[in-house]
Chains A and B, each alone.
Chain A
Amino acid sequence: MSRQISRLSVRSFRGATQPATIEFEKGKPLVIIFGENGCGKSSLVDAIDFVANRSFGSLNHRSVDGHKHPFLAAFGQESEDIEITLHTRDGGTWNATLDGRAAAVERTSDEGELPIVRVLRRAEILDIVEATPSERYKALGPFIDVISYQKSEESLREAVRRSESSYNQAVARQEQAIKSLEGLWETEGSPQENAFAWAKLKSREAIDDLQDRETTLKNLQKAAESLETSTIAYGKAGAAVFEADRLLDDVREELKDLPKLEGVDAVQLVSMLREASPLVSAEPESEKCPLCLQPKPGKELRASIEERLEKLDDFVQLGERLEKAERRRDVRQDARETSWGKLAAGVHEYADMAEAAEKELPSEAKTLHQELKALLDENTPEAERKAVRTSRRLALACAPLDEKLGSITADLAKHNGIRVQYENLISAKKDAQHQETLCERLKEAHQIVEKTRKDYVNGVLNSIGGACKSYYDQIHPDEPLGSPRLAMHENRPKSVELAGFFGTQDDIPPQGYYSESHLDTLGFCVWLAIAGRSEPKDTVLVIDDVFTSVDSQHISRIVGLISDIAEEFAQVIVATHYRNWRDRYRLSHAPGLNAQLLELSNWSLERGISSSSTVLAVEELDARIATEPLERQAVASQAGILLEALFDYLTLLYQRKLPRNHKNEWTLGDLLSACQKLFGVLTIERDEEPELLPEEEDAIGDGETEPVKKPASVEEAIAPFYIEMGQLSFLRNQVGCHFNASGGEISNDDVVAFGKATSALVKAITCQGCGQIPSRRMGDHFACTCGKTKMRPLEFKKG
């Protein structure tokens, strides 16, 4: 559904001292609001701007002290009384009031969308033309502002820089690896043709044998160390047993020296008394000894035992020492046996390793090893002592193996060094190649990203500039001043330049060379091109009396341009004080059937803004003819004016000859004579809507697509209409303009016939689709705006 404005109601706003409502006709995309200066045109434009854009409109361009919102209210009325209601054809309704210092707009309907409203005022027409390049960029920003994209483009540039840095680092690593390899290569006497070839060869050399030898020797070394440790441990364990034996012997000697007590061994006596003591204590009330059953009270017996134990204290302590010494000796003997077991295991382990490393083993070590094995098999204390000594000698005999192992380990380390450096070189080389490719691809991507942006922005500017040029050329055809175009500034990223053509010089700034009227039309064309760029079908253009310095010929072309582009937008509303602008539509010089003509009456405080519809001149004539009683003079006069307008238009279009006079004013007679021969050949061809057969209409009703039918065309000669009107044209002066006796003798029927003949002639030559007399040169004919009517001939030079 269209976002066309269908009704505008204004109360207490600007010139609307009384409530005013404008109804916009359906199906008419162009609205011409004509009114002399001060009738309220700008008030209506401001009201639309207030609702759609929350703008204070023309007040924004005026200098007032303090805030501007107090001046929005109609003279003598309050700000809170302001109310503007805007209805759209798609069912939308918006209500606008002034809330404090700002417009408050409320949607009061469930459906409909507020149109995009672009308003052009006289004060703004040169904004884009005379703006600085950066201001112009700002105005065009919604179409070419790609700042977000440019941020990502800058990130890509950073990615290129990082990639270059990574590439340089990989190259440096590569160079370092080459340098290290060359150092190793030179140390080895520069074998092969170069360090790389040498390193490649070396790093592929088999080192399994070396690694095996290293492992065998390390294992043997480890077993020898373990055997040595076990030998030392066994020696220490033997010494400990010796010490324990000596201490035990000492205690036993002391015991031998002690006297016998009570005929028994003192130590045994102590032991016996200690065992008896708890038995006696358990039964203190007993009257006999529980051991010998001799009669003796338990208490006495117990006291006796304790007394004897006190006397035997030295024997008690010696007994305890003996017990301790015996335990120690047992523990140490166990330890020595364990240690011997370890030593024996170590010898066997060493034997296994020595067998694996037989080639590496010195001959002395081999002999000692055999001796050691034999000693272990003997299993005597003497053999044990010998085994310990032999084991120590074996450790010394194996010492040369350390040197051998050191040499093998060094060979392996060197090999590993070469291999690591070689692999580093290969890795760095690969990395450098990868980074180089990635960097090239990032640069390629950057070129695409940058070029796409420039093409896009220039494409948009060319599109706007192209539309602008097309509009401009339509207003100023074949003039040595034109070809306006827009382009991004080469060095400044947010600047748009406007250039044009003047004489033989291209690329000139229009502000410096164009006349005021050319700048006006250029500004209008740029504005129109920008407005058409974004959602034109949802956009309402409002043009508020912008052309003041443009001459009649150019205004005529502007009218033609606006009539042409009106269909491209949701609606175009033109407010103008040019009566001729309206009359071009009224008199069929422009497509009057496509336009709604509104006229504003003179404004007064009491009446405010008031409007009325203006009908086409031919419709007005028809209405006068039908009015009873007949207004003879009005009909004749109206018909005469209509004929003068028609013939004036045709003589200009066909460049017919007219008698020269000072004021370039001609009578109806002059104009008719000038066109007499032309009307002898003038024809009108009309496209008529194709008629559908009944079955085709039924098919459409069933939902099928309407068949495309080429419109039938009918060609008609205009001469009969001209002749009929021409026979009565004298009536114009006699009835419509002057007082004379003969005029009174003309009947009403003749006056009506003259009016009807005039109406028929005008209608015969006017397109019934758009209401315009064909005037555009197209191939062999003139065409109207909608293209449905053609007028021939294109040229007529006779007479």
Chain B
Amino acid sequence: MCKAEESKTPSAELAAQVAGALLEAKLIREKDQEEMKSALGIGTATAEDWISWLDLALAKKEDTSDV
């Protein structure tokens, strides 16, 4: 594969950045990060996906705080 094919699109680059930022802000779970990167990079993330990612992270947070 040549370098041009390997290079990321701006959307993919940005998706990787934002997935990292959202994880750092604990708004998503680590296990959802890769799926999010991929969906944001190719523009397929739906409203349901967003609600699901954030809801799961919220549930995780609430579980932890319950303990």
Which positions in A face B, CB cutoff 8 Å? Answer: 113, 116, 142-152, 155-156, 158-159, 162-163, 434, 437-438, 441-442, 444-445, 448-449, 452-453, 456, 460, 534-535, 538
Looking at the complex, which one of A442, A448, A456 makes contact with B51 (CB distance below 8 Å)?
A: A442
Are B50 and A159 touching (Cβ within 8 A)? yes
A143 and B55: CB pair below 8 A? no
Greatest chain A CB density within 10 A among B28, B54, B57 is at: B54
- The A/B interface has a contact count, at CB < 8 Å, of 100
In the complex, which of the residues B11, B21, B25, B57 has the most CB atoms of chain A within 10 Å of its own CB atom?
B11
A146 pairs with B10, CB closer than 8 A: yes
A605 to chain B minimum Cβ distance, whole angstroms, is 40
- Contact of A155 with B49 in the complex, beta carbons under 8 Å: yes
Q: Are B54 and A438 in contact (CB under 8 A)?
A: yes
Is the pair B4, A116 in contact by a Cβ cutoff of 8 Å? yes
Q: A149-B40, A152-B39 are in contact. Are A445 and B10 (CB under 8 A)?
A: no
The minimal Cβ–Cβ distance linking B57 to chain A, given in whole angstroms, is: 8
Q: Is B44 an interface residue (CB 8 A)?
A: yes
Closest A residue, CB atoms, query B41: A148
Given known A162-B47, A441-B27, contact A149–B11 (CB-CB < 8 A):
yes
B residues near A, CB below 8 A? Answer: 2-4, 7, 9-11, 13-15, 17-18, 21-22, 25, 27-28, 39-51, 54-55, 57-58
Q: Which residue of B lies closest to A149 (CB)?
A: B11
Also in contact, A456 and B27, with CB within 8 A (given A113-B2, A149-B41): no
B22 neighbours in A (Cβ, 8 Å): 445, 448-449
Closest 5 CB pairs of A and B: A148-B43, A151-B43, A152-B45, A159-B50, A148-B11
Of chain A, the residue at the smallest CB distance from B49 is: A155
Alpha-carbon gap, A441 to B25, bound state (A): 10
Which one of A155, A159, A453 contacts B14 once the chains associate, using CB atoms below 8 Å? A453
A646 to B27, alpha carbons, bound, how many Å?
A: 67
11 pairs across A/B with beta carbons < 8 Å? A113-B3, A116-B4, A142-B10, A145-B9, A145-B11, A151-B45, A152-B15, A152-B44, A441-B57, A448-B21, A538-B4
If A156-B47, A452-B14 touch, does A444 touch B25 (CB 8 Å cutoff)? yes
Residue of B nearest to A451 (CB): B21
The closest CB in chain A to the CB of B6 belongs to A535
From residue B48, how far is it (CB to closest CB) to chain A in Å? 8
Chain A interface, DSSP helix/strand/loop, else mixed: helix
Once bound together, how far apart are the Cα atoms of A534 and B8, in whole Å? 11
Contact of B21 among A142, A152, A159, A452 (CB under 8 A): A452
Chain A residues contacting B7 (CB-CB under 8 Å) are 534-535
Most buried by A among B4, B7, B48, B50: B50
Most buried by B among A158, A163, A441, A453: A441
Please state if B41 and A159 are interface contacts (CB–CB under 8 Å).
no
Query: Residue A445 contacts which of B11, B27, B43 (CB distance < 8 angstroms)?
Result: B27
Is the beta-carbon distance between B11 and A147 smaller than 8 angstroms? yes
Cβ contact of A460, chosen from B9, B10, B39, B45, cutoff 8 A: B10
Which residues of A have CB within 8 Å of B51?
A: 159, 162-163, 438, 442
When the two chains form their complex, are residues A444 and B27 in contact, meaning their CB atoms are under 8 A apart? yes
CB distance from B53 to the nearest CB of A (A): 8
CB pair A456 B13 closer than 8 Å = yes
Q: Which residue of B lies closest to A456 (CB)?
A: B14
* B10 lies within 8 A of A144 (CB): yes
Chain A residues, CB < 8 A from B27: 441, 444-445, 448
Point out the residues of chain B lying under 8 angstroms from A535, CB to CB: 3-4, 7
**A706 to B: closest C-beta gap in Å:** 27
A535 to B5, CA, bound (A): 11
Most chain B beta-carbon neighbours within 10 Å: one of A148, A162, A442, A449: A148
With both beta carbons as reference points, the residue of chain B lying nearest to A157 in the complex is identified as: B47
Inside 8 A of B14's CB, which chain A residues have their CB?
146, 149, 452-453, 456
List of A residues within 8 angstroms of B18 by Cβ: 149, 448-449, 452-453
Distance (Å) between the CB of A535 and the closest chain B CB? Answer: 6
Which A residue's beta carbon lies closest to that of B36? A152
- The residues of B that contact A442 with a CB separation of less than 8 Å are 50-51, 54
**Min C-beta distance of B2 to chain A, whole Å:** 5
Report B-chain residues with C-beta under 8 Å of the C-beta of A148: 9, 11, 40-43
Question: Is B50 touching A156 in the complex (CB atoms < 8 A)?
Answer: yes
Q: How far is the CB of A271 from chain B (nearest CB, A)?
A: 91
Which residue of chain B has the shortest Cβ distance to A448 in the bound complex? B21
**A residues within 8 A CB of B4?**
116, 535, 538
For the complex with contacts A151-B45, A152-B43, A155-B47, 14 further pairs of A-B residues with Cβ separation under 8 Å are A145-B9, A147-B11, A152-B45, A438-B51, A441-B54, A445-B22, A445-B25, A445-B27, A448-B22, A452-B18, A456-B14, A456-B17, A535-B3, A535-B7
Q: How near does chain A come to B35, taking the closest CB pair, in angstroms?
A: 12
> A151: shortest Cβ distance to chain B, in Å?
4
What separation, in Å, do the CA atoms of A292 and B11 have in the docked complex? Answer: 122
Which residues does chain B contribute within 8 Å of A116, judged by CB atoms? 4
Closest residue of A by beta carbon distance from B17: A452
CA of A151 to CA of B42 in the docked complex: distance in angstroms? 9
Q: Which residue of A lies closest to B50 (CB)?
A: A159
Report the minimum CB–CB distance from B40 to chain A (whole Å): 5
Cα A159 to Cα B46 in complex, Å, equals 8
The smallest beta-carbon distance between A577 and chain B, in angstroms, is 33
Which of B11, B21, B50 interacts with A146 by CB under 8 Å? B11
Q: Measured between alpha carbons, how far is A627 from B11 in the docked complex, in Å?
A: 64
Most buried by A among B9, B13, B43: B43
Q: Please determine whether B54 and A152 come into contact, CB atoms closer than 8 angstroms.
A: no
Please report the C-alpha to C-alpha distance between residue A171 and residue B48 in the assembled complex, in whole angstroms: 21
CB distance from B43 to the nearest CB of A (A): 3
Nearest-neighbor residue (CB-CB) of B39 within chain A:
A152
Complex Cα distance A113/B3, Å? 9
Minimum CB–CB distance from A1 to chain B (whole Å) comes to: 12
Q: In the complex, what residues of B have CB within 8 A of residue A538's CB?
A: 3-4
- Taking the closest CB of chain B, its distance from the CB of A157, in whole angstroms, is 8
CA distance A155 to B36 in the complex (A): 13
